A and B are shown apart, each in its own frame.
Chain A
């Protein structure tokens, strides 16, 4: 007596599911999420050294720039253009050599990879949500968001070149 009911219930469920169409498949029951532990250690670190002082030259960040090699020589023309873009688009929150609303870009390439800097300029929303360093920086700087000023990649590259010239 119980069996037919069970079968009916099964049939019903199958019917309902088959009609959904758009319904996404549920995630598998098992997953190994190693990120959790990584993040935990990062947060622990944050307690000791502030994110702005931390050095991480391997993290390339998240965004359009995956690989960027800097020439040994600074391109002065590009740097001058970058200084102009920085003045117009960034100085509302950044001073070249001291902490303002956000951190100072001075010596940034001693602490960050060029890709990370580019991605922070070009993709700040995702960076401050997902990149552990950017997340920590957001907290360190009072939750003041890094504004996306919609720079072109070329402009961002010029700004990066300018950063190399800040003494």
Chain B
């Protein structure tokens, strides 16, 4: 009996320890690892604390995740056609993917960045760059739809993009590859001194977010790799890392790694803006598409622009300086105070941090080490704030928690390293699985980061998930950074290969998220705003069908008088005015995708019937218990027939 008592007491005390209500000390893993699951568990029906917008890399899209759960909510189509949402397939959004090269249905999406007001993210828009055919897209965070895409002329490999200044004055796009400007037929070996790199400052209209290239700075022919805006004290400046200051054009992995130091280019954009506002700069012929989606007409238009304003940096003295930075720096990151500029020298043993204050001093006191094509090179020692000594191998990117700490990814040694700004000491390191690229702290590119989590985005996953043939998923990893030591909480798969992400508290976006489009605001030229407005109109070989949907029928649902060789445009208006009641539609043999039409919206698909017969169409989005009944027929007659044009719903066609 005594023994039993003793053992029960022992068991009890262990249980008390485990069930203790006060879970304050849970930074340890191991025996208390169960707490890790709790930290990422968002109960069914509850919402995540943060949105994370993770770039879709070579998928061309932008994915929306919740943190800390790592649940995927939506893939926003941006640069690639998306059959699920008809983006780039329906007539309304096809113009979004227009470029000076014609219709380009894909891109490589890289660096999302959320708009800011007074140095803090405001959750209005998110911008992302298309790397391959240089473009910048704007996504409206009230609809989570891409509403604008502007092509960047004189650019190639649009990589040091798309970062936003602290009042969303500009979204900036820098070229990775230098090219002949303007483009011309010339020998590749004559690269050096002849190719140029463009840095584009795209103004953002404060009301609607509309983008316009204010000016392009035409820089020496280096590779401009990444960039970030100054903030706080350095607001008005922009910083770009460069590599290939050797200006090599072949066997780059050797030839572009010769110089001991490359540069961070510091650009005083306020100075250039003033110069441009006073009539400075040279207008250069250029051809680039500007595509704008109008929420009222539910349609995009594409305009081809004809010229761009260029600025030669030598014409604006004091506007551009080079900060020597070892060695082929990749990420270019500015801390929340705007004082420190981190050059993540990917081939360097140390991490280089420049001081903005010292930079201004060096400029004022002309502490120059030379010049490159007339642009002053500041003396390395005079701008250096400090170095983090041998923190890891292959530093790529740095983010900040707003509490004086920085977090840097190391690709080769596959880890995130936490270090202290100012003392440059390494505080902690955690492995990544595997080969981490970017990392993101919500609000990381702003004066006010939300330093609770960091998301690391990995290039390689190998054995981390169930295998899926030779191609396996990319992944993100979530770390808790609220304590002194980082703690790995979660692995989750991502779409494409994620390059950078942007995050913010859900409360910034949630209250503004649109639920539906009001029918009365629908200004689509082919909308049928009630069933009374539905009709079929023939204009030569073109037929316009004004159709509506509501649970659960199409109006009209019987159409006759269509002929082989016609171009039939189905303009479908969803008459629903309730949240989360989209309808879909698809037509047998249509050489396009389905439509997915939100309440109050009008979308159009083109069908070119090639065969005589009676062809069905149906709703593709399960809309009600009668969804399976939501179907209709189109009678297609021979090209030379006289079948009259008729349409109906709920009665025999007469």
Contact = CB atoms under 8 A, between A and B. Distances in A.
Contact of B624 (A1, A18, A88, A145): A145
Interface residues of A, number: 28
Contacts of B466: none
A150 B515 CA distance: 11
Interface residues of B, number: 33
Interface string A41-80: 0000000000000000000000000000000000000000
A11 B12 CA distance: 8
Interface in B1-50: 1, 4-5, 8, 11-12, 15-16, 19-21
A5 B11 CA distance: 11
Interface in B530-571: 530-532, 548, 550-553, 555
B12 A21 contact: no
B577 A149 contact: yes
B531 A91 contact: yes
B522 to A, nearest CB: 11
A142 B624 CA distance: 11
Contact of A87 (B520, B532, B548): B532
Contacts of B15: 12, 15
Given A92-B531, A150-B516, A150-B577, A5 B8 contact: yes
A144 B21 contact: no
Contacts of B581: 147
Contact of B550 (A87, A92, A150): A92
Nearest to A93: B550
A67 to B, nearest CB: 26
A15 B16 contact: yes
B574 to A, nearest CB: 10
A144 B575 contact: no
* Centre residue among A1, A145, A148 by max chain B CB count within 10 A: A145
A15 B532 contact: no
A92 B11 CA distance: 68
Nearest to B548: A92
Contacts of B520: 88
Contacts of B489: none
Interface string B563-589: 000000000000111100100000000
A88 B519 contact: yes
B625 interface: yes
A105 to B, nearest CB: 16
B578 A19 contact: no
B578 A147 contact: yes
B254 interface: no
A147 B530 contact: no
Contacts of B519: 88-89
Contact of A143 (B1, B11, B19, B624): B624
Contacts of B21: 18-19, 21
Contact of A8 (B8, B553, B626, B650): B8
A151 B548 CA distance: 19
Contact of B551 (A1, A88, A91, A147): A147
B5 A4 contact: yes
Nearest to B518: A150
B529 interface: yes
Contacts of A8: 8, 11-12
A19 B4 contact: no
Nearest to B552: A144
Contacts of A148: 577-578
A12 B11 CA distance: 10
Interface in A6-41: 8, 11-12, 15-16, 18-19, 21
A87 B531 CA distance: 9
Interface string B225-255: 0000000000000000000000000000000
Interface in A129-153: 142-145, 147-151
Contacts of A109: none
Given A92-B531, A147-B550, A147-B581, A15 B19 contact: yes
Nearest to A146: B551
A104 interface: no
B577 to A, nearest CB: 4
Contacts of A19: 19-21
Contacts of B576: 147, 149
A49 to B, nearest CB: 23
Given A1-B4, A145-B551, A88 B625 contact: no
A108 interface: no
A100 B529 CA distance: 19
B550 to A, nearest CB: 4
A111 B373 CA distance: 88
Interface in B605-652: 624-626, 650
B19 A100 contact: no
A15 B19 CA distance: 8
A20 B553 CA distance: 49
Contacts of A143: 624-626
A88 B529 contact: yes
A76 B551 CA distance: 31
Interface string A78-105: 0000000001110111000000110000
A144 B578 contact: no
A144 B626 contact: yes
B45 to A, nearest CB: 13
Contacts of A15: 15-16, 19
A25 B21 CA distance: 18
Contacts of A1: 1, 4
Contacts of A147: 550-551, 576-578, 581
4 smallest CB-CB distances across A and B, nearest first, come from A143-B625, A92-B550, A148-B578, A149-B577
Given A144-B552, A150-B577, 18 more contacts: A1-B1, A5-B4, A18-B21, A19-B21, A21-B21, A89-B530, A89-B575, A89-B577, A92-B531, A92-B548, A92-B550, A93-B550, A142-B625, A144-B551, A145-B625, A147-B581, A148-B578, A149-B577
9 contacts: A1-B4, A8-B11, A89-B530, A89-B575, A91-B530, A91-B531, A92-B531, A92-B548, A147-B578
